[in-house]
Amino acid sequence: MNSKIQEIKKEVAKVVVGQERMVDSLLIALLCEGHILIEGVPGLAKTTTVNALAKSLGLNFKRAQFTPDLLPSDILGAEIYDPQSNNFKIKKGPIFTNLLLADEINRAPAKVQSALLEVMQEKQVTLGDESFKLEKPFFVMATQNPVEQEGVYQLPEAQLDRFMLKLVVGYNTKEEELEIARRISSGNFEEIGSVVNREDLETLKTEVRAVHVDAEVETYMIELVNATRNPQEYGLEEIAEYIQFGASPRVSIDMFKAVKAMAFLRGKDFVTPVDVAYIAKELMRHRLVLTYEAEAEGISTDEIIQKVLETVAIP
C-alpha cells in the first residue's frame, strides 16, 4: 500500500474504530473526484470519519444538516443587501469548502437537493450575476437514514446517478463497539495530524490514473453493466422481470475510474476482476430501477447485482 495512504488511514484510525469499508470508499471517491452517498442508522461515525479524513488531508470541512424547511440559499449562499454601502454583497454558503457533509440529504425538499446536485456536477455556484468556481478538491459525502419514514423526500433516480458510490454501513462488531465505548468514556482520543497536502493528493490522483487495466478486464466491466440492461442475453431471464431500468452509462465511466483506485489502495499497479467485484455493488446499487414485482417480492438491487456477478464470465 502507498505510504501516504497508510498515513491517512493511520490518522483516521485514531478516532474511528473499524468501518474500513467506509474509509476505503471515501478515499476511492476522493481519488476519483467523485461523490459518495452513505446510508446507515445514526451513530455509525459517518460525520467523525469525514471530519477525520479532512483533517488528515489538511482540507476544509463543513457540515450541513438537511431539514424540511431548508432553502437552496442556505447551502449555496445568497446576495445580501448592505444598507451601509447601499450595495448587495455575496454571502457564501457551506458549499464553499473542500469536503462537504450533507447530513440526512433525504430530509430536504427537491429544490435543495437539485441545487446541491447541480453544483456537484458543474463544480461551480451562481449567486446573483456572478459564477464562482469551487476550489479543488470538492467532494460531497451525503448521508441518509434508512430508519426515517416521515418528512423524507426520496432522491430521484436521475439525481442518485450523480453519486459515484452508495455505501450501506452496518454496525461495528462487538469487539469494536467495546473499544469505542472505552475510548469515549475515558476521553482517550489522539489528535489528528495533517499528513498529506494538496500537492500530495494530486500526485496520488495521477498515480491512480496510471494503474493498468487489461483489455479483458475492461470488457468484463462493460459486460457487467450491459447484463443489467439486457439480462436475457446472459441467461438471466429469472431477473429480467425485476429490472425496469439497468445501469446508466455513468456507471461504466465511474467503474473504470473506481477499480483503478481500488487496486491502488490494495498496493497494486494493475486491476483484477476481484477489484471489480469488490466495488460493483457500491457503484450500481443506487442506479438500478427495479419493477413493482421486485418490490412486492422484497428483492433488492444488491441481490440483482450479485446474480449478475455470479453469471457473467470472469476473464
Contacts of 7 (CB under 8 A, 6+ apart): 56, 195, 196
Classify residue 203: in a domain, yes or no: no
Listed range (92-96, 113-117, 209-213, 259-263) with the worst mean pLDDT = 113-117
Q: Cite the beta strand spans of 254-311 per DSSP E.
A: 289-290
- Does 229 have pLDDT greater than 80? yes
Classify residue 198: in a domain, yes or no: no
Identify whether residues 96 and 169 lie together within a single domain: yes
Identify whether residues 53 and 127 lie together within a single domain: yes
Identify whether residues 167 and 35 lie together within a single domain: yes
Number of domains within the chain: 2
Last residue of a domain, one of 141, 169, 186: 186
CATH of the domain at 305: 1.10.8.80
Find the mean pLDDT for residues 183-193: 75
CATH of the domain at 68: 3.40.50.300
What's the mean pLDDT when you consider all of the chain? 85
Closest by CA to 180, choosing from 192, 172, 191, is: 172
Listed range (55-59, 187-191, 192-196) with the worst mean pLDDT = 187-191
Identify whether residues 168 and 225 lie together within a single domain: no
Closest by CA to 204, choosing from 62, 18, 23, 5, is: 5
Binned at pLDDT 50, 70 and 90, residue 60 comes out as confident
Find the mean pLDDT for residues 53-82: 85
Classify residue 300: in a domain, yes or no: yes
Binned at pLDDT 50, 70 and 90, residue 221 comes out as very high
Q: Domain range spanning residue 252? A: 211-311
Identify whether residues 74 and 142 lie together within a single domain: yes
Binned at pLDDT 50, 70 and 90, residue 261 comes out as very high
Provide the whole-model pTM: 0.86
Contacts of 306 (CB under 8 A, 6+ apart): 281
Classify residue 201: in a domain, yes or no: no
Last residue of a domain, one of 186, 219, 236: 186
Identify whether residues 156 and 259 lie together within a single domain: no
- Does 188 have pLDDT greater than 70? no
> For residue 180, how far is the Cα from the chain centroid?
24
Classify residue 225: in a domain, yes or no: yes
Q: What distance in Å separates the CA atoms of residue 62 and residue 258, rounded to the nearest whole number?
A: 25
Identify whether residues 35 and 178 lie together within a single domain: yes
Q: What distance in Å separates the CA atoms of residue 26 and residue 56, rounded to the nearest whole number?
A: 13
Classify residue 192: in a domain, yes or no: no
Identify whether residues 216 and 182 lie together within a single domain: no
Identify whether residues 172 and 262 lie together within a single domain: no
Identify whether residues 218 and 165 lie together within a single domain: no
Identify whether residues 143 and 40 lie together within a single domain: yes
User: Are the C-beta atoms of residues 139 and 100 closer than 8 Å to each other?
Assistant: yes
Classify residue 197: in a domain, yes or no: no
Classify residue 180: in a domain, yes or no: yes
Binned at pLDDT 50, 70 and 90, residue 254 comes out as very high
Closest by CA to 112, choosing from 62, 66, 50, is: 66
Identify whether residues 58 and 136 lie together within a single domain: yes
